[in-house]
């Protein structure tokens, strides 16, 4: 498998890839976009940092591409949407430079409080000017942290060591996590009004672009200090320049910019109270070693079909969780393909309900496995990455429910498929026994118990009259079809019964027609679990 390393990563990362059997590693540092597009034609994976871009054109050219790895946190230089459509995993390395970036943020924080760079420049110019470099203490001041992810959390820990009060704005921050870190959750406007220092640690999205703009600066205290070591574009630089000019902002520190490098004419270059660094967040020996090796390991594992971690467009599962989920991933996939084939009309909605011990596990991978199974016979080239997008394009709404209701099984997955005419097909399944064999336990209102790993199933709804089993046995025997399992279920005598019949081979159309002609048969579905 061909892996293109488009930007230079640590030698340990390249060496790791070269040590793996079956990998052809191409170091293509400094390639132009056109050269990268040509190299990508037969590539299985591409690794980049911030210099090279994996565009929609690159992805369209790369017919074999399975994974794109970013040695760093941001994926602005990767067309994630185009990759997702193609089922290509996009991974980053969010953990490798966490400490390095947090420490750089705190360096900027300290430099905004005490004008060390400016005093150093003055001393190097032969001056001794103590009066011009008065600063402020961090002790008892309030730090506002926008985004309390990995890096924001590490900054908050360091601020607590300086006995600062920490306010945190993060829509996904739980109260429990805030208590653990010793920070106070705050609404954005309240944080802007109260903080003496504000540091930004948000991803760059449409919602967060220019989140600190002229309106935001107007809400802040006079003399506030602003820091950004996250992503360029989170701060409106023109508005920042105006706030520095007016004195509303006493000092600022930036490691990232809307345009990198900032143009020579940038107004930001004219303010002595603004400390600028050239995107040094991950520029430590330790961070470069960490992210290079981490991205290499992630890409190698993804190409081998193993544990996918740090994926930005698919669920990531750690090895211990994967051990627990593995049998349920198979169950979910089988249930998805089963319910698709017993629902005759176009489905408009799928509702997936988890209960029992499955309430305590991450169900994202299970959702995608079920969607992938559902789509197996509908369209080609579907995997865990693009399955949700394909479902959306087909107009199929999804609903996930977690139920604490007690049932007959320790864990259960229930799938309800609602068709366009208002009809519904419902199945339930679980894992039974030491073999962890997937089982169907319920279908359309009737309890059953059938192994889901048979090759084919006949699903019959019929009037509860004598002779159905005999008829079925005779027809199948006539066509030399072997029955592997059978489960009969009814809710009342003389009502409508369900018969699930597992088969070792596909029944010919003549056999199906003969069964359908029986006057007691209301409905017959053939479920193919093989893809043959």
Catalytic residue among 210, 279, 389, 455: 279
Distance CA 240, CA 328 (A): 52
Phi and psi torsions of 28, nearest 5° = -120, 50
Burial of 179 (0-12, 13-18, 19+ CB in 10 A): exposed
The β-bridge relationship of strands 424-432 and 437-443 is: antiparallel
514 catalytic? Reply is no
Q: Does residue 261 have a cis bond before it (omega within 30 degrees)?
A: yes
Sign of the torsion formed by the C-alpha atoms of 474, 480, 486 and 492: negative
Sign of the torsion formed by the C-alpha atoms of 271, 277, 281 and 286: negative
279 catalytic? Reply is yes
372 catalytic? Reply is no
Distance CA 129, CA 316 (A): 55
Could you tell me the strand order of the sheet in which 24-27 lies?
24-27, 2-5, 45-48, 67-70, 89-91
Catalytic residue among 49, 108, 201, 231: 231
Distance CA 373, CA 8 (A): 39
Whether the Cβ atoms of residue 356 and residue 409 lie closer than 8 Å to each other: yes
Q: How many CB atoms lie within 10 A of CB 196?
A: 20
Tokens encoding 214: 């002229």
Q: What is the DSSP annotation of 430-447?
A: EEETTTTEEEEEEETTEE
Distance CA 308, CA 12 (A): 20
Distance CA 284, CA 287 (A): 5
Whether the Cβ atoms of residue 291 and residue 96 lie closer than 8 Å to each other: yes
CA angle, 500 as apex, 496 and 506 as ends, to 5°? 130
Whether the Cβ atoms of residue 13 and residue 295 lie closer than 8 Å to each other: yes
Tokens encoding 129: 């000017």
Catalytic residue among 245, 260, 286, 397: 260
Residue closest to 141 by CA, chosen among 199, 77, 76, 63: 199
Coil, strand or helix: which one is 96?
A: coil
Active site residues: 231, 260, 279
């Amino acid at each position: 498998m061909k892996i293109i390393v488009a930007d230079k990563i640590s030698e340990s990362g390249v060496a790791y890839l070269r040590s793996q059997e079956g990998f052809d590693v191409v170091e293509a540092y400094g390639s132009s976009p056109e050269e990268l597009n040509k190299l990508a034609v037969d590539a299985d994976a591409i690794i980049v940092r911030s210099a090279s871009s994996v565009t929609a054109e690159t992805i369209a050219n790369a017919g074999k591409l399975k994974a794109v790895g970013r040695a760093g946190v941001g994926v602005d230089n990767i067309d994630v949407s185009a990759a997702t459509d193609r089922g290509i995993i996009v991974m980053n390395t969010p953990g490798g430079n966490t400490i390095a970036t947090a420490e750089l943020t705190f360096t900027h924080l300290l430099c905004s409080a005490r004008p060390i760079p400016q005093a150093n420049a003055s001393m190097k110019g032969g001056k001794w000017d103590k009066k011009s470099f008065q600063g402020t203490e961090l002790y008892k001041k309030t730090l506002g942290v926008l985004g309390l992810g990995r890096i924001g959390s590490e900054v908050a820990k360091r601020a607590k060591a300086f006995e600062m009060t920490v306010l945190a704005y993060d829509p996904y921050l739980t109260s429990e996590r805030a208590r653990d870190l010793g920070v106070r959750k705050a609404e954005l406007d309240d944080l802007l009004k109260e903080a003496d220092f504000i540091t930004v640690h948000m991803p760059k999205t449409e919602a967060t672009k220019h989140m600190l703009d002229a309106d935001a600066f107007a809400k802040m205290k006079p003399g506030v200090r602003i820091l950004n070591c996250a992503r360029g574009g989170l701060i409106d630089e023109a508005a920042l320049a105006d706030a520095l000019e007016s004195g509303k902002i006493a000092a600022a520190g930036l490691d990232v910019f809307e345009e990198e490098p900032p143009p020579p004419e940038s107004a930001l270059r004219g303010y002595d109270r603004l400390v600028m660094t050239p995107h040094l967040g991950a520029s430590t020996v330790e961070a470069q070693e960490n992210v290079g090796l981490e991205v290499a390991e992630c890409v190698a594992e993804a190409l081998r079909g193993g544990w996918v971690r740090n994926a930005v467009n698919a669920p990531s599962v750690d090895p211990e969780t994967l051990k627990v989920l593995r049998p349920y991933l198979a169950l979910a996939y089988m249930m998805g393909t089963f319910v698709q084939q017993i629902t005759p009309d176009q489905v408009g909605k799928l509702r997936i309900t988890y209960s029992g011990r499955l309430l305590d596990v991450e169900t994202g991978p299970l959702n995608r496995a079920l969607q992938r199974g559902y789509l197996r016979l509908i369209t080609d080239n579907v995997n865990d990455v693009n399955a949700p997008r394909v479902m959306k394009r087909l107009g199929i709404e999804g609903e996930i429910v977690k139920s604490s209701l007690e049932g007959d099984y320790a864990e259960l997955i229930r799938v309800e498929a609602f068709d366009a005419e208002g009809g519904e097909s419902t199945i339930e399944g679980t894992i039974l026994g030491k073999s962890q064999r997937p089982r169907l336990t319920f279908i359309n209102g009737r309890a059953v118990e059938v192994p889901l790993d048979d090759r084919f199933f006949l699903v019959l709804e019929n009037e509860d009259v004598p002779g159905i089993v005999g008829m079925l046995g005779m027809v199948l025997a006539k066509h030399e079809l072997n029955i592997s399992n059978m489960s009969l279920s009814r809710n009342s005598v003389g009502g409508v019964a369900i018969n699930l019949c597992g088969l070792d081979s596909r029944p010919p159309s003549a056999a199906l027609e003969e069964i359908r002609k029986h006057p007691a048969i209301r409905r017959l579905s053939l479920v193919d679990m093989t893809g043959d």
